Each structure stands twice: as C-alpha cells, then as structure tokens.
Chain A
Amino acid sequence: MTTPERELPPASAPAGSAAAGALLRAARESAGLSLDAVAQQLKLAPRQVKALEDDDFALLPGRTFVRGFVRNYARLVRLDADAVLAALPGGNADSGLAAPTLHPTAQSIGELPLSQHSRPGWTRWAIPLTLIAIIAAGAAYELLRPAATTRPPAPVATPPREPVAEPTPVAEPPVAPPALAGAVTTLPNPVAAAEPAATGTTPTPGTPPGDRELVLSYRDHSWTEVRDRNGRVLLSTMMTPGARQVLSGQGPFELVIGNAADVSVTLDGRKIDLAPHIRQSVARLTLQ
C-alpha cells in the first residue's frame, strides 16, 4: 500500500521505540501483505486496520478493543505481541485509549404516570378540597352548636318527690318568664303533672313560682354544665372543692357533671343518686 507515513505522535511513544502502528505497518510490509489481506484475516474493516497503523485510536472502539486488535495483528505478522502492546500509548483520555467510565445505571430524569390516561386538572384538587370542606363543616358545627341545638327531654324516670322547699340563700332572678312556666305542666307523667300544683301551693320565698331549686355541692374539682328546659345554660364552669352552687330554673334540667363521684346533687331538697349515670367518672343525666 502506498499510504504516506504520518508523523508519529511524539508524546505517546516511549523514547527510543517506534509507535505500535509503525511497527505493525513495517512488519506487514516486510511480510508482503496488503492492508486488505490483513483486514480479511483479522475480520476487520480496512479502515480499522489503517487506523491501527496510523495510531488513530479515536476511530477505534476503545481501549480493550484496540489492545485486542493490536494483539491479533501482531500475532498475524509474527511480532511479539507484548512488545507491540507496550508501544501503545498509555490510557490517558486524549489518546482515545482511556478505559470506559461507568455511568450510573439507575439514574432517572422523570417518572411516567402509572395509569395510561392522565386525570383532568380539577380532579387533582377534588380530594384535598373535599377534605378541607369536611374539616370546615365540622369546625362550624362545633362553634355554632350551643346556639343552634334544641334538645328533647330525655326520658329519665325520676321517683316522686316530697314537697319539701328549702329556702335558698341566694335569691336568683327568674330564669324563665312566668308565662312560659305555665306551659311546663304538659308532662306525660300524670304523677309529675300533679306535682307542680303541689309545690306551687308552698312556694319558696325568693323563688318564682314553677321554678325548681337545684343544689350542687362539691368535695373535689369538677366541671359542671347545667341547662334548663329551654336548653339555656345555667351553669358551665369549673367548680372548686367545698363550693356549693344553688341554681333555680325550670325543669327538666340537663346535667353534665365531671368527677361525679365527689359531687352531690339535691333537687328541691331531695338527694339525687348519681351513681347509675356515671360513665368514666362523668355523669350525664336529665332531672325531671
């Protein structure tokens, strides 16, 4: 072949020895082989053989392959393969003979959606909006409940009371107008219906007629809430030990008493047993 000799890269060849390509070319020419014949023997393309002889490693597939091709070529032209390999430039990056770098194999730049159809835009907000709406509704209900709720009287059967009237030390203003008090007598129990008349005959001084007296005395801290028949809050506070609270209003009373074991309740001078109503130390009951 009449390929012109190229300038040998001076940096790549060790001092005092020719470059690998030149060695191979010289051996091939002395053996009288053509470039094509060598390519045929090595199963390479003639351009690859030419690149090997020209030390043009950028055209070749990489370090491992170049070394392998050079070894095969050297064996074909009966050169010492190790000597030719030693004449190859080192594995620096610009020689085209660097070892391949290992890229991360698990990197990703995005993620595909799992389902085939992407959801329309508004449904993306539907779930959080629904949650927010539920939370807002709950909060509004909790805030507005005391004003908005009316409770039917719970059917708690109370034993018939003696017409005992205790004078209250604190004269409270009437919690309900007397006009309304007349409507109280529409109770289903005929015994209970008869009684307001009985108590009405001996009204307690300072207590409007039809009102009933509820006395709560405390041996320990207790949170207490009392509502009258209209759902009006008569008492809703934290009571201290030793306190005694006298309330008057129109029954039935609805009571929620915390720490109920240490509270005694008297309705119209009659002691109420809280024990059947206590659940987890809180008593909830309605007094007729």
Chain B
Amino acid sequence: MFQFLKGYFSSDLAIDLGTANTLIYVRGKGIVLDEPSVVAIRQEGGPNGKRVIQEVGLAAKQMLGRTPGNITAIRPMKDGVIADFTVTEQMLKQFIKKVLDSRLFSPSPRIIICVPCGSTQVERRAIRESALGAGASKVYLIEEPMAAAIGADLPISDATGSMVVDIGGGTTEVGVISLGGMVYAGSVRVGGDKFDEAIVNYIRRNYGMLIGETTAEVIKKTIGSAFPGSEVKEMEVKGRNLAEGIPRSFTVSSNEILEALTDPLNSIVSAVKSALERTPPELGADIAERGMVLTGGGALLRDVDRLLMEETGLPVIVADEPLTCVVRGCGRALENMDKLQTIFTSD
C-alpha cells in the first residue's frame, strides 16, 4: 500500500559509475545524465587556500590536459574502481544534484550502482560508501556483466546460457549468465583507456611525436579498428615532435592503429577464450547457438566483433546502443527490484 507513495516521493536512481562515463537513470524518467567521469579541482590562492570543485562532467573533460597550474582535471575512477575516494564522492554528489530537483522534503534515494565483477571487497565497499556519502539511503550493488545482459535484453532469467562481453573504459567484463545468476565472471583491466594509451605509445615510438590522450581517443574513434578490413582510412593528427619540440601534423592510417591496439585486444580475446574454456558444456552449446553479445563503449571500436568472431568461431553481435546498456540494465533492475532480488551482490 505504501509502495505507491514511496514510489511517488522518492526518485530511485541507477548509476553506471564507469571509468570513462557516468550515466544516471531515474526511475520513471529514463537516462537523464550521461557525462564523462572527470572532475576539475581548483586550488584557491592565499595562505589558507581551499581546494574547490571547478567543474564536473563534460566541461571538466574539455579541460583535461589543458589546465593551468592551479586547476587539475582528474579522472577519479581508474580501472573500473575508485582511485580517489573523496573526489568520486563529490562527483557523484554533483551528478545526483543535477538530476534530482531539490524539493523541500525530498527523501534520499535508493541507488543501484554497478561494480566490476573483478573488483575486490575493499573496492566495492568504497563504491558503496561513496554512494552513501553522496546522499543515498540504501545502496544495492550489481555486477556489470549482469547489468549489461539485462540492458541488452538477454534472457537472463531463463535456463539458457547468455554470454556478455562488456568492454568499458577501464575494464573488460566477461560474464556467462543463466537463471538470473553468474555462472562465470571474469574481468581484465583492459578497456578504452588502455587503447588510448597504446595509441599514444605507438605514435611516440614510431613517429617520435607526442600526443595527448584526448587526441588518442579521437584517433581511436575515427579510424581505430580491431580487424584488418578492406578499406584503409587515414587521419591527420597534430602533436609535438619530440626531437624538434615543435607541434607538427602528420597522418596515421587505420592499419597502424590496428597494430597499436594489438596488445590490449589480445588480452580481451584471451579473457573471452578463458571464459569459454571454463563454461559448462551445456551453456557453451547455448552460447555457440546464439553467440556472445558485446556491450560498452569498446564494442563501438570498428570490427571488434569480427575479431572475436574469427578468434572464437562463434557468432558475435553488438547490442543496440552499447554505451548505455549497463545503465539501462541497472534501470530495468531498479524497476523490477522486487522480482530480481537474487541478482544483487551482497558485498
């Protein structure tokens, strides 16, 4: 009887607190926030100068690598877990403030928040604590592959195996799900950030040019690919020449980026293969029939599904809107919280 009232007054949230982007889903409204997980902190002058938050989200991301000495733009999440506890808490608080209109009697929301399945208890506790510190009344944790599978509309509560590979900013999560539970969960700390890093290193090594991570991300999104395709794309990039110390422009091709990405892609492939090795045979047969589903931003890398298809010999499909799969899954879990008690992790 009070469920209706509770639903009316409190606006529960589902949060995908990712390394690259934070997405927030509000019950009944859908996805209301999609911003980079970046915080810009300014050190105020004077003898007792405080550290204040200058910007959060998109505005802060534009400052990355372009800040003067008194401002630091930092990404408080690293490898899918919290690297800077206080900054993460403040960032969450700011994001929640953005999406919840401040009413006089606004009850604190219940929050579903997803965690990488490879995260330790300490890391999970940190995420739970920071959500509580940001004003949650109760925090439910859900493992990322489970959320991604729900978001991709996989039949998770049926007695069939569904395999989901979520390539996020910091981690790649591989999960095999059946009957609402994880049969296998694996996580490697390789994701979009490692791709950017690999591109930066490749260009410094082969061209003697230094580029920032933001530029590397643009290269990855524009011409990056994971499998040698028929067409070769090229792109003009500007960076600082290490020998001359002067900014120069040069051209990279998609084949070179493919070469640069070989190492991180190989670790994703081996994570998928070891998941398949450890999957019980009946579920393996289900996966062979249906294939695995790619979600997360990494699934948008061109031909990453072709790569996995060729490496495993199984059908690989990319989910609709892979970037929002996890938060949509969290949101669906939020709407069906009473039905799906078993999918939340206890710690």
Q: Which residue numbers of A lie inside 8 Å of B, CB to CB?
A: 42-45, 61-65, 67-69, 71-72, 99-106
Tell whether, in the assembled complex, residue A43 and residue B291 are in contact, meaning their CB atoms are under 8 Å apart. yes
Question: Please, which residues of chain B bring their CB within 8 A of the CB of A64?
Answer: 152-154, 293, 317, 319-320
B residues near A100, Cβ cutoff 8 Å: 153-158
B193 at the interface (CB under 8 A from A): no
Is the CB–CB distance between A65 and B291 below 8 Å? yes
The 9 A-B pairs with the shortest beta carbon distances in the complex, nearest first, are A68-B317, A105-B180, A100-B155, A103-B157, A105-B342, A61-B290, A104-B339, A99-B153, A64-B153
With A71-B318, A72-B305 in contact, is A105–B153 under 8 Å at CB? no
* A105 lies within 8 A of B314 (CB): no
Residue of B nearest to A91 (CB): B153
Q: Is the CB of A103 within 8 A of B153?
A: no
A105 and B293 alpha carbons, distance in the complex (Å): 22
The answer to whether B315 touches A69 (Cβ under 8 A) is yes
For chain B residues 149-187, which have a beta carbon within 8 Å of chain A?
Answer: 150, 152-158, 179-181
Smallest CB–CB gap between A63 and chain B, Å?
6
B341 at the interface (CB under 8 A from A): yes
The 30 listed contacts between A and B (C-beta, < 8 Å) are A42-B309, A43-B291, A43-B309, A43-B313, A43-B315, A45-B289, A62-B153, A64-B153, A65-B291, A65-B293, A65-B317, A67-B317, A68-B315, A68-B317, A71-B317, A72-B305, A100-B153, A100-B154, A100-B158, A101-B157, A102-B157, A102-B332, A103-B180, A104-B340, A105-B157, A105-B181, A105-B339, A105-B340, A106-B341, A106-B342
Q: Which residues of A contact B305 (CB under 8 A)?
A: 72
Instruction: Please give me the residue from chain A that is nearest to B343 by CB atom.
Output: A105
Q: Which A residues are in CB contact (< 8 Å) with B251?
A: none
- B336 and chain A: residue at smallest CB distance: A102
> Quick one: CB contact mask for B136-156 with A, threshold 8 Å, 1 for yes?
000000000000001011111
Find residues 324-347 in chain B having any chain A CB closer than 8 Å to their own CB.
332, 336, 339-343
Is there an interface contact between B315 and A44, defined as CB atoms closer than 8 Å?
yes
- Known A64-B154, A102-B339, A104-B340; 5 more pairs at CB < 8 Å: A61-B289, A64-B317, A72-B305, A102-B340, A106-B340
Q: What's the minimum C-beta distance from A42 to chain B, rounded to whole angstroms?
A: 6
> Are B153 and A43 in contact, CB atoms less than 8 angstroms apart?
no
Central interface residue in A44, A61, A67, by most chain B CB within 10 Å: A61
Measured between beta carbons, the chain A residues less than 8 angstroms from B332 are 102
**B296 to A: closest C-beta gap in Å:** 15
Pick from A42, A65, A71, A102: contact of B150, CB below 8 A.
Answer: A102
- Among residues of A, the one whose C-beta sits closest to the C-beta of B303 is A75
- Asked if A69 and B317 make an inter-chain contact with CB atoms under 8 angstroms apart, the answer reads yes
A71 to B305 CA separation, bound complex (whole angstroms)? 11
Cα–Cα, bound, A69→B316 (Å): 8
CA distance A62 to B319 in the complex (A): 12
CA distance A43 to B289 in the complex (A): 9
Beta-carbon nearest neighbor of A72 in chain B: B317
Chain B residues within 8 Å of A43, by CB: 291, 309, 313-316
Complex contacts, A71 vs chain B, CB 8 Å: 317-318
Minimum CB distance partner of A61 in chain B: B290
Closest Cβ neighbor of A85 among chain B residues: B320
**CB atoms of B293 and A68 under 8 A apart:** yes
CB pair B153 A63 closer than 8 Å: yes
Write out the residue numbers on chain A whose beta carbons fall within 8 Å of the beta carbon of B320.
64, 67
In the complex, residue of chain B having the shortest beta-carbon distance to the beta carbon of A107: B339
B289, B305, B317, B343, most chain A CB atoms within 10 A: B317
Contact residues of B between 63 and 118, Cβ < 8 Å to A? none
Q: Cα distance A69–B150 when bound, in Å?
A: 19
Q: Which residues of chain B are within 8 angstroms of A61 by Cβ–Cβ distance?
A: 289-290
Chain B residues with CB under 8 Å of A72's CB are 305, 315-317
Whole-angstrom CA separation of A279 from B20 in the bound complex: 79
Residues in B with CB closer than 8 Å to A62 are: 153-155, 290
Chain A residues near B341: list those with CB within 8 A.
Answer: 105-106
Those of B272-317 within 8 Å (CB) of chain A: 289-291, 293, 305, 309, 313-317
Which residues from chain A contact B316 at a C-beta distance below 8 Å? 43, 72
Residues of the A chain whose Cβ atoms lie less than 8 Å from the Cβ of B179? 105
Kindly report which residue of chain B lies nearest to residue A103, judged by CB atoms: B157
Chain A proximity of B93: nearest CB distance (Å): 31
> Looking across the interface, which residue of chain A has its beta carbon closest to that of B342?
A105
Name which residue of chain B comes closest to A43, CB basis: B315
**A31 shortest CB reach to chain B, Å:** 13
